[in-house]
Amino acid sequence: MYAEVEYEETMGKYGGMSGKNHGYGRNMAYAGTQVLQARFGGGHFSSVASHGDRWNSFSAWAKQSAGVKDMRDINKETVVQYGAYLREQGLAAATVQNRISTINVVMSHAREGQWEKLSPRELAGRSRSTVRTETPKSYTAERYTAAHSAMTSAGLARAAAVFGLAREFGMRSEEASKANLDRLDKEMRQRGEINIVDGTKGGRTAPRWVAVTPAGREALAAALAARPEGSNNMLRQNETYKSWRGGELRAGREILHDHGIRGYHDARAAYACARYAELTGHAAPAVSGGRRTVDRATDQAARRTISTELGHGRTDVVAAYVGSAR
């Protein structure tokens, strides 16, 4: 009898126990670490630490973006939304899969096996060895212009501006949303290039200069015209990024879907493919049928440049944007 009481207090039962976070604590982030300690029996310190970091990231997102503060409220849709958010941030497929795997580990143990595991690979949207095999939908002027015009016509000028900045400068949606437009305009006029540093993944501060083309000038001008009065970026003065992302930015994404474009990230891939063609004089492998048509040295040089402009630290990631290096 004593053992049963001890188990109830320390482990928590999904369904039979009404305690918050299945009995592991009142704070969801903390509760997850307690689940991991129980799952790994106090050992496997490296695994516990890695899973713990990923669970904390998920807990912070769940609280801020999904309003979920209790493990009992986590369901399949919560995790699917989180996967979509991670993809939108441009994270590597392996990173997305690892974060989803952590959720499966924690929830499966917290609910004593009564958790339907979601496929990390499916939620990542691609395999770990990502190689783009098709042309980005927003690569062609016709598709891009149609989607952009539809967003503008729907009264989503700010979302359309984000789409334009992603297409012409390779920005992530958060970067385009938080970019200091006054600074970018000044840099464009003085240097003919802009430095992407606002809203970057992981708060990266390394210089990331991208040349301004005529189309880039138009995109930046449209963003300046669309920004709210008194703001230096796409957000209104009293608007949080969370509300912006769940409001107009999300509405714009739905219009992109109507035009066969998966999201703003597609425009980032379109930028990469266009940049590859500019740097090499040949179409990117994703556009030309799957294989490179230039010598390896030229191909690798282009990938190094594009990797830097996209804010990535590795050239192998560029295959997810422009296609195979073979």
Q: Give pLDDT tens digits for 191-222.
A: 999 999 987 765 566 789 999 999 999 999 99
Mean pLDDT, range 122-131, rounded to an integer: 67
How sure is the predictor about 128, in pLDDT bands with cuts at 50, 70 and 90? very low
Q: Is the pLDDT of residue 2 over 60?
A: no
Q: What is the pLDDT of residue 202?
A: 58
Q: Is the pLDDT of residue 304 over 60?
A: yes
Tell me the C-alpha distance between 96 and 312, whole Å: 15
Q: Is the pLDDT of residue 123 over 90?
A: no
pLDDT tens sequence across 37-76: 988 876 677 788 889 999 999 999 999 888 899 999 999 8
pTM of the predicted protein model: 0.65
Q: Is the pLDDT of residue 143 over 90?
A: yes
Q: Is the pLDDT of residue 116 over 50?
A: yes
Q: Is the pLDDT of residue 130 over 80?
A: no
Q: Which of 36-40, 86-90, 93-97, 290-294 has the lowest mean pLDDT?
A: 86-90
User: Topology of domain 20-124, per CATH?
Assistant: DNA polymerase; domain 1 (1.10.150)
In the chain, where are the structural domains located?
A: 20-124, 141-322
Q: What is the pLDDT of residue 122?
A: 85
Tell me if the domain spanning 141-322 has CATH number 1.10.443.
yes
How sure is the predictor about 4, in pLDDT bands with cuts at 50, 70 and 90? very low
Is there a contact between 290 and 324 (Cβ–Cβ < 8 Å)? yes
